[in-house]
Structures are given as structure tokens and as C-alpha cells.
Amino acid sequence: MMNIAVFASGNGSNFQSLYEATQSGQLKATIKLVVCNKPEAYVIERAKACGIPCFVCSPKDFPDKAAYEQAILNELQANSIDFLVLAGYMRLVGPTLLQPYKNRIVNIHPSLLPAFPGMDAIGQAFDAGVKVIGITVHFVDEGMDTGPIIDQQAIRVNEEDTRETVEARIHEIEHTFYPQVLNKLFQQLMVK
Ligand code: GAR
């Protein structure tokens, strides 16, 4: 089984759904660690409630990005982590993590990339008036929501939709889509 670390910066609803998918057997992997860069993030409470160790590591406490990521890398290696799953981790990943985890870091983003990368993707798409929005799971490189696309799910925006209803629908779909895509990917990697 793949040992994974989930990286999150905020609410952690995707962490929660990934954890539940591992418990139900839908996602054949073990979440051994949560990594969080924000000491006030709610994901820390969620991890505690699920009994998953959470490494809280604030970039402010380090002289530079390389030192910050080295501290995370040490923790990942100490926990024998095979694969990094970003779920609302709002930082760019640098070479210190990208090199040892080449092709083993994925992210979920709430838009049909390459459209609407960056912060508040759902708001950006809603304000642009697009009628099809969606979700992308992709490999992570040094860019902002760039890297090879693994899978996407399109979602129609209806006349009566508001920003809030669209946001709620995207989150709900993310919670089933991400475990499914990861499970397929892990199965492929295990076979190789
Ligand atoms: C999710 O919608 C995820 O797709 C998005 O942050 C949210 C985190 O929610 N990620 C990005 O925008 C990455 N650029 P959560 O903390 O409740 O899982």
C-alpha cells in the first residue's frame, strides 16, 4: 500500500474525504501524515480527530524556502512517505521537495486548468461567466497549478446558480473525484 502525506493549509474537507475513502477501502493507501503550513488551520483539528499525526510547519520560522522544505522532507522521510497529495495547500512547491518526489506529487484545483489557476479559482470562473466549470487533478511542478493533467471533471453552471451554489457543488464533487483519481493512479504505479 502507498504511504501518503496530505498537505493542506485551511479547512481540510478534502483531507477528510480522503481519510474516509482510506477507511472505507475506496482509496487503497495509508495516510501517515498531514503537513500544514498554517498553525490556525482547521485541518489540524480534523487530523487529530482522525488520529493522523499532523506536522505543522510555518515558513516564517525558517530563513528561506529551502530550509522550510528541508524540515518537511525530514519528516516525510522519517515517516516513510511514498507520495504527496496536495489538498488545498496554498504554497508553491520548490526543488527541495520536487526532486526527491519527482512524479509523486499531485494537486487538486477547482477549475478546468489551464483556465483560472491560482487563488479563488471558483470566483474567477464565476465572475468570467463561464457556463462549464470543473476540477483538475494534476502532477505538481514548480509552477502555480501547472504540471501534467491526470484527470478532469466538468460541471455545468445553471441559470439559477449563485457563486455559493457553484462552490458547494464543486467541493462536493471534489470529495468523490479526488479519491477515485488517486486510487486509479496508485493502482497504475503499483503495477509498474
Ligand atoms: C479545494 O477546493 C481545492 O481544490 C483548492 O482549495 C480548496 C481546499 O478546500 N485548491 C486550490 O485552489 C489549489 N490551487 P479544503 O481545505 O476544504 O480541502
Q: Which atom of ligand 1 is nearest to the CA of 109?
A: 4
Give the pLDDT band (50/70/90) at residue 82.
very high
CATH assignment of the domain containing 164 = 3.40.50.170
pLDDT tens per residue across span 144-188: 999 999 999 999 999 999 999 999 999 999 999 999 999 999 999
Distance between CA atoms of residues 39 and 58, nearest Å: 7
Give the Å distance between the CA of 154 and the centre of ligand 1: 16
Report the nearest-CA residue for atom 1 of ligand 1: 88
Q: Name the residue range of residue 175's domain.
A: 2-191
Give the pLDDT band (50/70/90) at residue 190.
confident
User: For the chain, what is the mean pLDDT?
Assistant: 97
Q: Which helix (H) or strand (E) holds 29?
A: strand 29-36
Select from 32, 26, 27 the least CA-distant residue to 7. 32
The pLDDT value given to residue 62: 97
Give how many domains the chain has, as a whole number: 1
Catalogue the active-site residues: 109
Per the document, the length of the chain is 192
Give the Å distance between the CA of 13 and the centre of ligand 1: 8
Give the pLDDT band (50/70/90) at residue 191.
confident
How many other CB atoms sit within 10 Å of the CB of residue 118? 11
pLDDT tens per residue across span 19-60: 999 999 999 999 999 999 999 999 999 999 999 999 999 999
Any residues with CB less than 8 A from the CB of 24 and at least 6 apart, and which? none
Average pLDDT of the residues in 5-16 = 98
Tell the residue number behind the cell numbers 493522523, with chain if given: 52
pTM for the predicted model, two decimal places: 0.97
DSSP calls for 80-140 = T--EEEESS--S---HHHHTTTTT-EEEEESS-TTSS-STTHHHHHHHHT-SEEEEEEEE-
Does the structure show a pLDDT above 80 at 192?
no
Report the nearest-CA residue for atom 12 of ligand 1: 109
